[in-house]
Amino acid sequence: MEVLTSLFNVALLVAMLRTTAPILLVAMGGSFTTKAGIFNIGLEGQMLVGAFFAVLGSIWTGSAWGGVLCGVAAALVFALIFALLVVTFRANEVVVGLALNILAGGMTISLMKAVFGTRGSIVGQGIVGLPKVQIPFAREMLGSWAPLISGYTPLVYVAFLAVPLLVLFYRRTRLGLHIRVVGEKPEAAEALGISITRIRYTSSLLCGLLAGLAGAHLSLGYITMFTENMSSGRGFMAVAILIFSNGDPLRVLAGCLLFGFADAFSLRLQTFGYPSYLILAVPYLVALAALFALSYRARPKLIRETAETMRRFLSAEPDKPSNPRPQ
Amino acid sequence: MSLRLRAILGQVIAVAFALALGSIVILLIDESPIRVFTTLLRGAFGDPGKVAGTLLQSTPILISGVAACIALRGGMFNVGVEGQLFLGGFAAAVVGFGLDLPTGLHMLVGLAAAILAGAVWVAIPAYFRVRFNTNEVVSTILSNYVAILLTSYFTIFLFKRPGGWSETPPILTSAHLPELFDFSRLNWGLVIGLVLALLTAWYFRNTPGGYSVSMTGSAPRFAEYGGVDIKKRGFWVLIASGAVGGLAGGVETLGVHHRFMEGFAPGFGFDGLIAALLANGSPIGTILTALFFGALRSGSLLLETDTAASREIITVIQALIILSVSAQVLLRRRGDAQGGERRWKF
Amino acid sequence: MDPVSRPATEPAADYAVELLGITKRFGAFTANEGVDLRVRRAGIHAIIGENGAGKTTLMNVLFGLLQPDEGEIRVDGKPVVVTDPSVAIRAGLGMVHQHFKLVPSLTVAENVFLGMEIRRNGLIDHRAQEEKTRELSERFGLAVDPTERVGLLSVGIEQRIEILKVLVRGARTVILDEPTAVLTPQESRELFSTLRGFTQDGMTVIFISHHLEEVMEVSDTVTVLRRGKAVATRPTSELTKAEMVRLMVDRDVSFERPARAATAGQNILSVRGLWARDDRRHPALRDVSFDVRAGEIVGIAGVAGNGQTELAEVLSGLRPASHGSASLNGQDIVTLSPAGVRAAGLAHVPGDRMVRGVDGNASISANLIMGRQNRAPWKKGPRLDWKAAANEAAKMIQRFDIRARGPGDTVRRLSGGNIQKVVLAREFTNEAPFLLIDQPTRGVDIGAQEAIHDEIMRQRAKGVAILVISVQLDELMKLADRILVMFNGRIMGSVDGDTADEDQIGLMMAGIPQGSVEAAA
């Protein structure tokens, strides 16, 4: 019992929200490309260069926000290259995404060696981390629950605010609507004079923007350091979430919270002496299980639909013609 | 023939373009491209030992590349070669130190265990891919992380060599892959890789089964119409690909390290995939691209000591090569016929 | 809406749309040749013609999707150069395409206003859009719920949304391409009353159709296209259905029916009570039963999209049937895989040649192997014998007169007719007792058509049971011993090939059962 209460408490929830933030940011970014009908496996790399250049920018400018700006700019460059190759040159998106991931991994390590002369990680060196935001009166209002809403770095708030904003974006703005149309029914977009190319570039860049923020959060958020391949598959998990959520912001949030929880919970378990290697595998296993389970679940729907048509069809008088489809 | 020549020429031009881009990157990190490339050449081919080192590095890339080729020919991406390689290497090590068998047979059983491990590991993504059309790119990538963590766990907590680092006990010499020369660790693994590449090429070119697989990859609806069971074929193609990925790990364990250790073959699986992509899914072409990447890897060992560049600069060059190749002809044909991937494309 | 009440002659200015001397060529093929079409304001003008007569091309020219090679377009008496659809829309034209362009996950109102969203403070004003949609739908009797998601709606309602899309963009002339092809009779009737409502509002309707019944019911004027030319424009009331069919069907170039011996033997294929659904899970085959005997050619006639594709797919194992049976050589094939059906004795020339019939990027040799890679002479020991395959291919290239550089030539480089011959060469040399041929000569030039027909007749003479599906009636009248007519997933009737009559078949294609006509058999 004691173990349980010390496992599940406010701190765990706080840790969950914190670990959810980076994957939520990058998944929200991927939501744009998913909705626009692009399979973007390159999220991982965009996030990684975002993290690296955020550290670099933070040292150069001496300001965390300067770092964030640099990180976002680098991720945007990657997003632009992705869009150029995939949209304009019509290259295979899986190949381009994977190559950009590999490029990001090699480039950050090479640059780390070139700039800092070190391997492995950059710590200290004058990296300025993001400040923590204290919500006024949080303690007075919520007491010991205050850490739930107060004391996070700004990008955590950005990540969670992005969810309702994206819901609004897809429902209420022209651009959001057109992104959905381009992904779902490009021929409808074309017939109405909506440029598929322009929309796909735009969504790819929006994706780079959020992936860059996610990276900056990794390296300037709770820990102010950069390590080799520090995105450690979060971009790929985001892609898994995007596949089974179809990029819908609320479902993406649900998926990301699941991973945030798995992440925070496994970190917590580690402190209880469970072997870290198995614990570290938990988020990936959760991602895989969700991916497989949800693609399996898609089946009963198909069966239901079929049964329904059968019923409708049998209850109708046999002579009543229905709708044949044209070629 | 001239079509194929043009395709090869296209790849060569793309590689040259990527090398030019890579030179710019090298200039940006304040190093001379000429020095970097000559160091790479020296490191790869400087003396017989270095050449052997290049071949040694090429071996796992070649076998992983063949694994990736098999999946590509069937119209799928096996991005999980890295994980299959780790599991294969681990399984071979367990057989290597855990069983006591006669020389030769011991080695064969070790390789068989590696093959089995790779095949089993890819079975779930493969099943879901053909049955429910679950994207195999994501599922195999994610399973890489699990495979690497899982093998590390077993190595550290179950089979840790007493007093040693994070590695299994050494395998018995009866399970070693024989070495080819006495001045290098270069071993029969290279021969296995070459034979495998040739066999795979021969299978795709000269057997009814290979024909059916190729057609499943390049024109799935035509293959289906012609009576090919494309789901079954697709499943077994991924299984075969995973099995070869496992073999790559087994060869690495039994031939080079003679034990399994944490981080024992980093990135070979990905290099193999890139080599296969650059060769446009041709196993014979993969022999050449794997040699190229092996030379880059081998040469990069000198980079750290002789230049200011880190050895990861070769990863940058590899990625640039794939990007510039992708912009022109890479997998255009197979990409078009990607039945499962097409829902993302129009 | 009484055409008789109109004055006999009207001033030129009362034409809403005029197409004058429109010619449109695609390479050597002339789709429209000097077509004149004058559409009276506030009327319903039907354009009828066989498949490939040039109806859709003409409308695409009018709507700016295609540029005419010659001719002039006038809207409201003024010449307009319609460079693209936006010009047409500004001139007050609106087109409802045969294939709807709606986004399933969006609501009705969102679809209607897509690309011209009503915004307030930069955000889309859903309420205003829904309000306006409701207003329009009530005004024109196009009942829709503006807040409903399109993906949940029936095709009939989808069509109303497409019409609303056109109206909201201010169209005064509405063009509908085969609007009833996807509708139930009830839905069609509702559509017609809507269209009549338009004309009472002073709007003009151009209506493309195959269904003569409907043309009779709804239109004021009919223009008949045949082989790209406008052969007649008459008030509908002056024409009978039989006259329309006569005008539509081009007798002059009808193929000559080859002499034939009665060779029909035992039943090879027996289909009984077959039902199947299409991709959207609507019933596409309804209680289809027929037989094909050895040495007999059975033709399936019908307007495209009446279940022929699904029939071919079910018979070749590519689509599951929901009920019924089909036996080939006494073996039930409904549950078999494509490979199983082939083993039972099917050879199949698919309708969608480039997707199902060949791998365009592979060589002729490689394409000719498909389906028999496990048989001699292609398989030798464990190997695929490419030399033997090339020899076989060379033989077939010669025998089927495939114009190519050799067995190694890439299929995509060949002309449509030659690609079709590659498919025929593969399937006709399988020695299968049953041949299923879907659209034998689609997209094939006349010379090659003759060659393909001769080859089919040779197969008949060899005692093969042949089922030919074609949308070209003249082709079936030339080849078939019996013609079955499909409409809406059903077989409407059967006529003897020797005594077949186009009018009679045309009526069945339009959904009028055989009962009213005396059966030939």
Task: Assess whether pLDDT exceeds 50 at residue B118.
Answer: yes
Alpha-carbon dihedral angle through residues C211, C212, C213, C214, given to the nearest 10 degrees: 60
Residue type for position A184: E
Contact C44, C195 (CB under 8 A): yes
Residue numbers of the domain that contains C145: 99-171
Count of domains for chain C: 4
Distance from CA of A326 to the nearest CA of C (A): 4
Is A174 in contact with C119 (Cβ distance < 8 A)? yes
Average pLDDT, chain A: 84
B321 lies in a domain?
no
Average pLDDT over residues B74-98: 94
Percent of chain C's residues with pLDDT above 90: 47
Q: What is the 3-state secondary structure (H, E, C) of C237-276?
A: HHCCHHHHHHHHCCCCCCCCCCCCCCCCCCEEEEEEEEEE
What are the chain A neighbours of B326 within 8 Å (beta carbons)?
85, 89, 91-92, 95-96, 99
Give the C-alpha separation, C290 to A278, whole Å. Answer: 64
Report the pLDDT averaged over residues A114-129. 84
Same domain? For C311 and C440 the reply is: yes
Assign a CATH topology to domain A2-134+145-315. Answer: ABC transporter involved in vitamin B12 uptake, BtuC (1.10.3470)
Digitized pLDDT (tens) for each residue of chain C, 521 residues in all: 344 444 444 444 589 999 999 999 887 778 899 999 999 999 999 998 876 678 888 998 998 888 999 999 999 989 999 988 888 988 999 999 878 889 988 999 999 999 899 999 889 999 999 999 999 999 888 889 999 999 888 778 899 999 999 999 989 999 998 887 667 667 788 889 999 999 998 999 999 886 777 888 889 999 999 888 898 899 999 988 778 877 876 554 456 788 787 777 899 999 999 999 887 677 889 999 999 999 999 999 987 778 999 999 999 999 999 889 999 998 999 989 999 999 999 999 998 888 899 998 899 999 999 988 888 788 888 889 899 999 999 999 998 888 888 899 999 888 888 899 999 999 999 889 999 999 998 777 767 788 889 999 999 999 999 999 988 788 898 899 999 999 889 999 999 988 888 778 877 877 777 665 444 33
Q: What is the pLDDT of residue C516?
A: 53
Q: What is the mean pLDDT of residues A92-99?
A: 91
Min Cα–Cα distance to chain C from A278, Å:
41
Whether B114 is in a domain gets the answer yes
pLDDT at position A2: 56
How far C60 CA sits from the closest chain B CA (Å)?
A: 23
User: Is residue C371 domain-shared with residue C467, that is, in the same domain?
Assistant: no
Torsion of CA A292, A298, A303, A305, to 10 degrees: 180
Which tens digits make up the pLDDT trace of A14-72? 888 988 999 999 999 999 999 999 999 999 999 999 999 999 999 999 999 999 999 99
**Using 50, 70 and 90 to split pLDDT, how confident is the model at B164?**
low
Of C110, C156, C182, the CB nearest to A326: C182
**Domain shared by C340 and C437, yes or no:** yes
Q: Are strands C229-235 and C29-40 parallel, antiparallel or unpaired?
A: unpaired
In a domain, C131, yes or no: yes
**ipTM associated with this complex:** 0.87
Specify the pLDDT at position A313: 47
CA distances from A201 to A37, A75, A195 (A): 12, 14, 10
Residues C324 and C244 reside in one and the same domain:
no
Size of interface A-C (CB pairs under 8 A): 99
Measure the CA–CA gap between C431 and C425, rounded to whole angstroms.
11
CB proximity list for C290: less than 8 A, separation 6 or greater: C271, C298, C484, C491, C494
Chains near B (3 or more Cβ pairs under 8 Å) = A, C
Average pLDDT over residues B197-204: 96
Instruction: List the single best residue of C282, C319, C323, C512 to mutate versus A (max A Cβ within 10 A).
Output: C282
Residues of B in contact with A41 (CB under 8 A): 137-138, 141
- Using CA atoms, how far apart are residues C302 and C50, in angstroms rounded to an integer? 11
Q: Please state, in angstroms and rounded to a whole number, the distance separating the CA atoms of residues B171 and B93.
A: 6
Cα(B114)–Cα(B245) distance, rounded to whole angstroms? 9
Please say whether the beta carbons of C42 and C202 come within 8 A: yes
Nearest by CB: A107 against B316, B323, B331:
B316
Contacts of B142 in chain A (CB under 8 A): 233, 236-237, 240, 284, 287-288, 291
Q: What is the pLDDT of residue C374?
A: 86
Could B211 and C374 be called an inter-chain contact, meaning their C-beta atoms sit closer than 8 Å? no
**What percentage of residues in chain A have a pLDDT greater than 90?**
50
Q: Which residues of C touch B (CB under 8 A)?
A: 316, 318, 337-339, 342-343, 348, 350, 355-362, 366, 369-371, 373-374, 378-379, 382-384, 386
| pLDDT value, residue C292 | 95
A43 vs B contacts (CB less than 8 Å): none
- Parallel, antiparallel, or unpaired for β C221-226 and C44-48? parallel
Q: What is the pLDDT of residue C161?
A: 93
Show residues of chain A in contact with C350, CB under 8 Å: none
Shortest alpha-carbon distance between residue A229 and chain B (Å):
12
Q: Are residues C341 and C437 in the same domain?
A: yes
- Say which DSSP state B156 is in: I
- Of B273, B210, B313, which Cα lies nearest the Cα of B80? B273
Q: What is the pLDDT of residue C294?
A: 93
Q: Considering only CB atoms, which chain B residues are within 8 Å of A105?
A: 312, 315
Decide if A39 and B341 are in contact by the 8 Å CB cutoff. Answer: yes
pLDDT number for residue C305:
76
> Which has the higher per-residue pLDDT, B215 or A7?
B215
pLDDT at A235 over 70: yes
Query: Residue A88 contacts by C-beta under 8 Å, 6 or more apart in sequence?
Result: A197
Higher pLDDT, A252 or C261: A252
The residues in B 208-237 lying below 8 A from C, measured between CB atoms, are 208, 210-212, 215, 218-219, 221-229
- Contact between chains at A180 and C304 (C-beta distance less than 8 A): no
Domain range summary for chain A, segments of one domain joined by +: 2-134+145-315
Q: Which chains touch A (3 or more CB pairs under 8 A)?
A: B, C
pLDDT of residue A6 exceeding 80:
no
- How far B28 CA sits from the closest chain A CA (Å)? 9
Query: From CA B89, how far away is CA B59, in angstroms rounded?
Result: 14
Q: Do B326 and A92 touch (CB under 8 A)?
A: yes
Our CA angle for C500, C505, C508, nearest 5°, is 145
Shared domain for C406 and C440, answered yes or no, is: no
Chains that touch C (3 or more CB pairs under 8 A): A, B
pLDDT averaged over every residue in chain B: 87
Question: Is C352 domain-assigned?
Answer: no
Does the residue C195 lie in any domain? no
Does the beta-carbon distance from A171 to C124 stay under 8 Å?
yes
Are C48 and C86 within one domain?
yes
Residues of A with CB under 8 A from a CB of C: 168, 171-174, 177, 180-181, 184-185, 187-188, 191-194, 305-306, 309-310, 313, 318, 320-327
pTM of this structure: 0.85
What is the reported pLDDT for A300?
Answer: 45
Three-state SS string over C302-330 comes to CCCCCCHHHHHHHHCCCCCCCEEEEEECC
Residues of B in contact with A107 (CB under 8 A): 25, 312, 316
Question: Residue type at B93?
Answer: A
3-state secondary structure of A301: helix
Number of domains in chain B: 1
Half-sphere exposure of A123 (CA within 13 A, CB side): 4
% pLDDT > 90, chain B:
59
Residue C429, number of CB atoms within 10 A of its CB: 16
pLDDT for position C393: 93
Rounded CA-CA distance C387/C377 in Å is: 10
Per-residue pLDDT at B24 exceeds 80: yes
Residue C515 contacts A, CB cutoff 8 Å: no
For residue B300, the chain A residue with the least C-alpha distance is A110
Name which of A185, A257, A249 is nearest A21 in CA terms.
A257
Nearest CA in chain B to C339: B227
Q: Give the whole-angstrom CA distance, residue C423 versus residue B255.
A: 51
- Cross-chain CB nearest to B143 (options A85, A96, A288): A288
For residues B106 and B93, give the distance between their C-alpha atoms in angstroms, rounded to a whole number.
11
pLDDT at C281: 73
Residue C193 lies in a domain: no
Strand C119-120 and strand C70-75: pairing?
unpaired
CATH assignment at residue C472: 3.40.50.300
**What CATH number has the domain bearing residue B69?**
1.10.3470
- Residue B212 pLDDT exceeds 90: yes
Are C441 and C459 in the same domain? yes
B183-222 residues touching A, CB cutoff 8 A: none
